[in-house]
A and B are shown apart, each in its own frame.
Chain A
Amino acid sequence: MTFITPKAKHGDASDGNLGGRLSRLDGPAKITGSATYAAEHQIDGLVYAVTVQSTIAAGVVTSVDASAAEASPGVLLVLTPDNIMPLKSATTWAGTPGPEGPFLALPRIVSFNGQHIAAVVAETLEQATAAAALIRVTYEEKAHVYGLDDPKAGEGVPIDRMTMSRGDAVKALAEAPVRIEQEYRTPREYNVAIEPHGIIARWEADSLTLWEPSQWIDGMARSYAEWFDIPFENVRMISPYIGGGFGSKALSLPHGAVAAIAARMLGKPVKLVVTRPQTFTAYGGRPATRQTLALGATREGKLLSIVQHGVNETSMLGVAVEPLGSVTAIMYAVPNFSSRQNIIPLNTVTPGALRAPGENPSAFGIESAIDELAYEVGIDPLQIRLLNYAEEDPQAKIPWSTRRLREAFAAGAEAFGWSKRSPAPRSMREGKQLIGWGVAAGTYPVRRTPGEALVRILADGTAEVASSSIDMGQGTYTILAQTAAEVLGIPVEQVRVKLGDSALPRAPVAGGSQLANLMTGAVHKAAHAARDELIGLALNHPGSPFLDQQTNTLTIADGVISTPRSEQPAISIADFMRVIGQEKVEALRDTLPEDKKNTQDRYNNFTTMMAMKPPTEGGYSLHSWCAHFVEVRVDEDFGTVRVSRMVSALDSGRLYNPKLAESQWRGGIIMGIGQALLEEGVVDPRYARVINNNLGDYLVATNADIPDLQVISVGVPDHHASVLGGKAVGELPIVGVAPAIANAVFHATGKRIRDLPITLDKLL
């Protein structure tokens, strides 16, 4: 269990309360190494598991020769398809029943290269690793499909819920005076968190304790409970710190099941950390996507129609949809629109969520295409965006709650100096460096799920906040302390926040950029209730100095209770608690609707995504918005692209802590630069295997690739979006970065790159 004790500099009103630029409370623990990550926990009697992954992409395991491994020093157990304990199928994140039949963590049927098919448990990690290398697997191999370009891939399966339309898009396109039609592609991309996926599993009778990095304690705990057919309450999941997730640590995965099975069979705690190469197939990143976009417009650049058809890859095992129409549908005021999407099953691990799933590749398509249209009709890329500005949600036909995109364009353009841009491609240069300026917009919806929190005022006047929500670096510890401090009227350093433990009050997934909004809402509510109770005691308790004060309320500021109109009496919370002999005052509150508080609804709310409200529910369309302005320098001989300057203006509504929000924005922008220029899971078609499965070969941006990033907040509090006025922060900033860079590259070189990443060979 982790207690985070703030160490704020006091005296500056801005450093503590909500809206202040408080540094991350978990920062010192992380910098000094005292923060304990899942795999670092020291557990008595720990033994070590290592998995063996398939070396073919499709087929059946006909036999596993484990004799050498079993005879190897220190080996305690070898798990194979022959002896793997079948588990119950678990409910999906969507709340739908899991696949038919038992769940086999080490299946006999191989559906992708790099699938876990065996595991060795030994006294030491080295023994397990050495023994794992001795396992001999024979397969009956079948033909595989390696990727979207495989002739065997076919057209795929239409996903009806992705079909959208308004007006008559095909007819309007045919009649449009200006038409452009292009195909845009994004490759397979990986979350590559620095902390690899790993777990420690320990059984005590029918109770299972798991130390595992988790973006969703309650959802993952439910999967383990269902797999092993034990009560949800018997699963204790602990995850106080997470070394990056980006969407990849929200669901329980087969390697976790292997560890828990081994722990159960051996009666010993088992640690299993997948190796870096294994992470590339132990979870799925962003699927490869391909979309065709046809834009019809007037000669002045006013959009008349958009026709979109997208596909993304999925696995042979599961349906993963990367919604390619999500930004296309709402970014511009286009009267005629149609979009449909297929998924193509092939031999890969089931793709997962990676920062802004859907919005990210969707924006790459539409924000590249609108740029192409701007050149086609000869107007400024920023102007064409303003010309087609959507004043309301063009798809849902309801008002935006807030849409400060125009302000974002204005602020970004001003700071960037956009007006000095010379319009023609290849018209700006410095020596051998072709200079290009590009712009693109991004958006991310406001997702909403109820949360729960406990706020407890202690006898010493300090307070605790507790929730099973998590902090993977985005700042949950800090902003929840700020929220509680503000409501309770105590200094922020007197608030301790406990997170990342399924024994605490419940929370839904830390995904979809929803957590900050829903948890500040829950903490706000619980803190108010605790404060009200404290004030109630102060007004009514026989021992209270306020008993005869003829007042019906009291104020609390800086940890001192007083009456609103006079200086005296005044008493610190700690003294007051002593006077009345109270140990604590606490309130547990949730933000569930009154008719959804029964046990099953609560359970579903926190352990599935069933209760997540769409951004258009409630009469307003709720979204965050951003505009990215990029300068690139492209070496005309070498084709190397360097981002030399970047300004982004973002509307995330109210920022609970601008320092942390800006840091998230910058992080997303950095990831976007890597996506635009470097990231690609390279698949060998003959083996359907990702061959650059390590951080030396799978390239993410380094510091040297990142210029100074100016971020500007243009948001205003949006109380339709959330209790305290915030909108989505974490996933927004990556959306639109890649097209802004591709647009800048076109401006620099006159070459339009429609498939990411923009590597030098494409520009030679």
Chain B
Amino acid sequence: MKNFTYVRAGSAQEARTASALAGSMILAGGTTLLDLAKCGVAEPDTVVDITHLAGLDRIEVDGTGASIGSLARMSAVADHPAMQDAFPAVTQSLALAASAQIRNMATIGGNLLQRTRCPYFRDAAVFPACNKRSPGSGCSALGGVTRNHAVLGTSDACIATYPGDLAVALVAFDAVVHLGSRATPVDDFFLLPGNHPDREHAMDRGEIITSVTIPLSAAARRSVYLKIRDRQSYEFAAASAAVGLELEEDGRTVRDVRIALGGVATKPWRVRAVEAALIGKVLEPELVRQASLLSMQGAADHGANHYKIDLAPRVITRAVLQLGGLA
């Protein structure tokens, strides 16, 4: 780890100014930053600590939706009763993420900005080729071990999976990321790798996440986060689905459904095609199974990750049927 200067920001504006300088990085819970600094991927000259900024850890839920300050801890949001009530998929996505220790340290802003677990990205000494880490250097994962790499949203430059859980639930329920004076839908906040996998977010240097808002919806209230993995805790998703369902009065016809996938794509992956195939239809297992397959439109595997193409639609199917009382 390289020596760096430590700055404790006194206000959000100070944090913006300090972090606008090249080589400086924001420190929130530090669970990603420290990890990446230890493996030499993050080498900040200056670390701007924002953890003491007042008011940024607030969690507010009212009749229109939720507003979560970027410094709210993962565990605080996961354990928040009103959040659990209004947004079960959101709180479950947090409770099923990382470990208890990490959830107690990590913040919502930091969580959204966590980096991929692609092993080639994390080991610069051995794998100099990584377009995400050093643009234009190539991609070591191509031709390598790809069991955990993405099948959706990949490019020739990068096939790294976005590993986080929370963002998947946020994308399903049209959450908005607030960067102080401006705001952007979560779906647009995360960028596809394209030719620039190093650029992951629609956020400029010197901007900080201040909060995340989620509009209230019937689908969000009746929602679930289903995370499939080999280990029962403390593992990233092999595939996950955040699903919310609103039924007509008949209790069988889909009025609204929201579906997003995690663990299989280069960004949190909303699957509108599946949603469209279900809206207005009477829920029944075969319909859901068929509709779920639409989520893999455009999917491309790299051998060892092929199983994700089989797995992900099944995760959607189970989650939808579970919410519909059919599984």
Contact = CB atoms under 8 A, between A and B. Distances in A.
Question: Are the chains A and B members of one assembly?
Answer: yes
Interface of A: 55, 113, 126, 129-130, 133, 275, 277, 431-432, 637-640, 642, 677-678, 682-684, 686-687, 689, 691-692, 696-697, 699, 701-705, 757, 759-761, 764
A691 B144 CA distance: 10
Q: Which 9 A-B pairs have the closest CB atoms?
A: A761-B307, A704-B232, A704-B233, A691-B119, A637-B314, A55-B126, A638-B228, A705-B232, A702-B233
B318 A699 contact: no
Contacts of A277: 39, 123
Contacts of A678: 230-231
B145 A682 contact: yes
B260 to A, nearest CB: 18
Nearest to B233: A704
A702 B234 CA distance: 8
B117 interface: yes
Interface of B: 1-3, 38-40, 117, 119-120, 123, 125-127, 143-145, 147, 228-235, 238, 307, 310-311, 314-315, 317-318, 327
A637 B318 contact: yes
A609 to B, nearest CB: 36
Nearest to A135: B125
Contacts of B127: 687
Nearest to A114: B126
A686 B139 CA distance: 13
Nearest to B122: A694
Contacts of B307: 760-761, 764
A126 B4 CA distance: 11
Contacts of B147: 682, 761
Contacts of B228: 638, 640, 760
A596 to B, nearest CB: 49
A677 B145 contact: no
B119 A130 contact: no
B230 A640 contact: yes
Contacts of B125: 55, 133
A764 B315 CA distance: 12
Contact of B126 (A432, A637, A639, A689): A689
Nearest to B120: A691
Contacts of B315: 638
A699 B235 CA distance: 8
Given A129-B1, A691-B145, A637 B317 contact: yes
B119 A692 contact: yes
12 contacts: A113-B126, A130-B3, A638-B314, A640-B228, A684-B144, A691-B119, A702-B231, A702-B233, A704-B232, A760-B229, A760-B238, A764-B307
Contacts of A696: 117
B143 A686 contact: yes
A66 to B, nearest CB: 16
A704 B123 CA distance: 29
B154 to A, nearest CB: 19
Contacts of B317: 637
Which of A55, A133, A637, A687 has the most C-beta atoms of chain B within 10 angstroms of its own C-beta? A637
A642 B229 CA distance: 11
Contacts of A689: 126
B306 to A, nearest CB: 8
Contacts of A705: 231-233
A707 to B, nearest CB: 11
A696 B39 CA distance: 13
A684 B140 CA distance: 10
B311 A760 contact: yes
A524 B317 CA distance: 65
B327 A432 contact: yes
Contacts of A133: 2, 40, 125
Contact of A759 (B126, B230, B310): B230
Given A637-B314, A692-B119, 16 more contacts: A55-B126, A129-B1, A133-B2, A637-B318, A638-B311, A638-B314, A640-B228, A683-B145, A684-B145, A699-B230, A702-B231, A704-B231, A705-B233, A760-B230, A761-B147, A764-B310
Contacts of A130: 1-3
A764 B310 CA distance: 8
Contacts of A432: 318, 327
Contacts of A113: 126
